[in-house]
């Protein structure tokens, strides 16, 4: 009788311990019990059974052994049921990911990553230490990766290693700007600054990597993490694609911090979001002569001036007013000798449009105007036009309707519909456009505007600052976008 009571008490303790383990993992931290937790519980049960066995009669030993084996089976079934329970509701999944991202230790870690990168900014294709930091953190998390791509880029992967494959991208490079804000983690490199938030982008994607790795058993496919160099200059995305960054990938997402939106508010829109952006420089060549003999030279200043006027009419007289386009002259140089008509004159500027058709038509017309308008038959000059297509030539960034809706659904589910906004089209450009030309893509903004911390200045300003409270939200958005995409596209 006493032995039966003792045995019963042991099993009650085991049950309490098991339930407590589950609650601590699943409720307090928003996590399913890890294999280590379950192993610990199983070992506790085994030791408890062993202790109880000494208090019961010999004829019950077989029964206890049966109970031990039965619990081992239950442990396996319990592990499966925990995961299937967690994936049965999109709301509970979102809550879990968000709670993981907002865990104080996680928030501190993400902020630390961002500050370390901010202190030591590196320009396009020079992100050696930034790349090293990322790889070190991926090693610590236990994430496999390929390196190098596009000189300093990284392609990491988490999940089954099988289809579907979905990618999330962060850019790494800084700008040649001297930071003007005095704060503890100000740039320590003269003339260089993370003035466009790429330090935050890397930190958020590493945060997502940590979350996804902890939830790897949930992933019904493979998440590809792309850490890309040279977004600001050098067409880093294009080189990453050439080096295999999108291998097997069927969709891609990215975010960019924005001081136009309040902290943690998500903004995007379907279709064209960011303009295609190109630059051009035209060198007009003629014949130099003293300015006192204007009938003798081949006047490049006159020819270049005529080209400028004609270029300004490309939008006003050749473009549908409902199709937003820009041609802006930004440079004109004919020399500095006031008594000489120069042999050559140089003019340059930028052009932008929201559709590929309009963008490439503008490029064609700029070249025609510069060549034909200054030709020997009209101005007696010749012209050479450079469009810098290997360096700074970005097509329009166009959001796929389905991918954009996916971002909207995740944001609304995680943060509430009031925290998602449809933003207007913007004339700014991004080399994420190269990805969007290859596979379905979605680019979205995450707000960092907060007057109290001075986060009001736009990107590329020496006073640019972000509200770091957006970092865990960005990490959670990345993780949930990727995990839910795999669940919805699992075949």
For 403-439, the pLDDT digits (tens) are 999 999 999 999 999 999 999 999 999 999 999 999 9
Residue with structure tokens 């290859």?
A: 438
174 and 311 co-located in one domain:
no
Give residue-wise pLDDT tens across range 51-92.
444 443 333 333 333 333 333 333 333 333 333 333 333 444
| Residues 462/193, Cβ–Cβ less than 8 Å | yes
Is residue 17 a part of any domain in this protein? Answer: no
Nearest to 461 by CA among 175, 202, 187: 175
For range 185-213, the mean pLDDT: 98
Is residue 72 a part of any domain in this protein? Answer: no
Q: What is the CA radius of gyration of the chain?
A: 30
365, 394, 423: which is the final residue of a domain?
394
Cβ contacts of 233 within 8 Å, gap of 6 or more: 123, 124, 173, 391, 392
Give dist(CA 403, CA 475) in Å, integer. 18
394, 421, 442: which is the final residue of a domain?
394
Is residue 47 a part of any domain in this protein? Answer: no
pLDDT given at position 376: 58
Q: How far is CA 379 from CA 264, 286, 299, 341, 384, in A?
A: 56, 9, 8, 14, 14
337 and 436 co-located in one domain:
no
258 and 114 co-located in one domain:
yes
Say if residue 190's pLDDT is above 60.
yes
Domain count, the chain: 2
Structure tokens, 391: 């360096």
Confidence of residue 24 (pLDDT cuts 50, 70, 90): very low
119 and 241 co-located in one domain:
yes
Say if residue 22's pLDDT is above 50.
no
Report the chain's mean pLDDT, rounded to a whole number: 84
159 and 262 co-located in one domain:
yes
CATH number at residue 243: 3.40.630.10
Is residue 155 helix, strand or coil? strand
Nearest to 195 by CA among 466, 490, 389, 470: 466
For range 192-196, the mean pLDDT: 98
Least confident window among 31-40, 185-194, 267-276? 31-40
358 and 250 co-located in one domain:
no
For range 233-240, the mean pLDDT: 92
Nearest-5° Cα angle at 216, 215 to 220:
115
The DSSP code for 392 is S
369, 394, 419: which is the final residue of a domain?
394
Give residue-wise pLDDT tens across range 131-183.
999 999 999 999 999 999 999 999 999 999 999 999 999 999 999 999 999 99
CATH number at residue 350: 3.30.70.360
381 and 439 co-located in one domain:
no
pLDDT given at position 289: 82
Say if residue 187's pLDDT is above 90.
yes
> 121 phi and psi, to 5 degrees?
-70, 150
145 and 253 co-located in one domain:
yes
459 and 382 co-located in one domain:
no
Confidence of residue 377 (pLDDT cuts 50, 70, 90): low
Say if residue 37's pLDDT is above 70.
no
Is residue 52 a part of any domain in this protein? Answer: no
Is residue 124 a part of any domain in this protein? Answer: yes
pLDDT given at position 8: 53
| Residues 432/441, Cβ–Cβ less than 8 Å | yes
Confidence of residue 293 (pLDDT cuts 50, 70, 90): confident
268 and 378 co-located in one domain:
no
Say if residue 2's pLDDT is above 80.
no
389 and 261 co-located in one domain:
no
For range 443-458, the mean pLDDT: 97
Say if residue 14's pLDDT is above 70.
no
Strand pairing report for 222-228 and 266-268: unpaired
- Give me the residues paired with residue 224 across strands: 157, 167
137 and 210 co-located in one domain:
yes
Q: How far is CA 106 from CA 20, 29, 204, 209, in A?
A: 23, 11, 11, 12
Is residue 8 a part of any domain in this protein? Answer: no
Say if residue 238's pLDDT is above 50.
yes
pLDDT given at position 35: 42
Is residue 369 a part of any domain in this protein? Answer: yes
pLDDT given at position 233: 85
Least confident window among 134-138, 228-232, 341-345? 341-345
For range 277-305, the mean pLDDT: 88
Residue with structure tokens 């596979």?
A: 439
Is residue 34 a part of any domain in this protein? Answer: no
pLDDT given at position 335: 86
Structure tokens, 184: 């503890």
Range of the domain at 292: 276-394
């Amino acid at each position: 009788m006493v032995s039966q009571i003792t045995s019963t008490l042991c099993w009650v303790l085991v049950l309490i311990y098991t339930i407590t383990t589950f609650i601590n993992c699943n409720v307090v931290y928003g996590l399913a019990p890890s294999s280590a937790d379950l192993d610990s519980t199983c070992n506790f049960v085994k030791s408890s059974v062993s202790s109880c066995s000494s208090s019961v009669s010999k004829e019950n030993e077989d029964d206890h052994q049966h109970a031990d084996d039965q619990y081992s089976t239950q442990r396996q079934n319990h592990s499966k049921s925990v995961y299937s329970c967690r994936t049965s509701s999109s709301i509970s999944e979102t809550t879990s990911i968000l709670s993981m991202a907002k865990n104080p230790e996680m928030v501190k870690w993400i902020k630390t990553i961002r500050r370390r990168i901010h202190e030591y900014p590196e320009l396009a294709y020079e992100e050696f230490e930034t790349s090293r930091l990322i790889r070190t953190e991926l090693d610590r998390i236990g994430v496999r990766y390929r390196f190098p791509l596009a000189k300093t880029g990284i392609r990491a992967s988490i999940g089954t290693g099988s289809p579907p494959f979905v990618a999330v991208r962060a850019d790494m490079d800084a700008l040649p700007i001297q930071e003007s804000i005095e704060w503890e983690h100000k740039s320590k490199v003269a003339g260089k600054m993370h003035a466009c938030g790429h330090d935050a982008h890397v930190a958020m994607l590493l945060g997502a990597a940590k979350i996804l790795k902890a939830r790897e058993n949930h992933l019904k496919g493979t998440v590809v993490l792309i850490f890309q160099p040279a977004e600001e200059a050098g067409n880093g995305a294009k080189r990453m694609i050439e080096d295999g960054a999108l291998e097997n990938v069927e969709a891609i997402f990215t975010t960019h911090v924005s001081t136009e939106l309040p902290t943690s508010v998500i903004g995007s829109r379907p279709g064209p979001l960011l303009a295609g952006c190109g630059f051009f420089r035209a060198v007009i060549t003629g014949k130099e002569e003293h300015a006192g003999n204007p009938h003798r030279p081949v006047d490049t200043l006159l020819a270049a001036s005529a080209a400028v006027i004609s270029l300004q009419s490309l939008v006003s007289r050749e473009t549908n007013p409902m199709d937003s386009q820009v041609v802006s002259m930004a440079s004109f140089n004919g020399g500095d000798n006031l008594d000489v008509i120069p042999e050559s004159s140089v003019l340059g500027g930028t052009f932008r449009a929201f559709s590929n058709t309009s963008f490439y038509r503008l490029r064609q017309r700029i070249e025609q105007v510069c060549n034909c308008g200054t030709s020997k038959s009209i101005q007696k000059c010749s012209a050479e036009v450079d469009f810098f297509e290997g360096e700074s030539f970005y097509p329009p960034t166009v959001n796929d309707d389905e991918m954009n809706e996916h971002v909207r659904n995740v944001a609304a589910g995680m943060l509430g519909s009031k925290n998602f906004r449809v933003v207007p089209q913007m004339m700014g450009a991004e080399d994420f456009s190269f990805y969007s030309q290859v596979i379905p893509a979605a680019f979205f903004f995450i707000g960092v505007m907060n007057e109290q911390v001075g986060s009001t200045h736009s990107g590329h300003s020496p006073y640019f600052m972000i509200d770091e409270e957006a970092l865990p939200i960005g990490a959670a958005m990345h993780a949930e976008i990727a995990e839910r995409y795999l669940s919805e596209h699992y075949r």
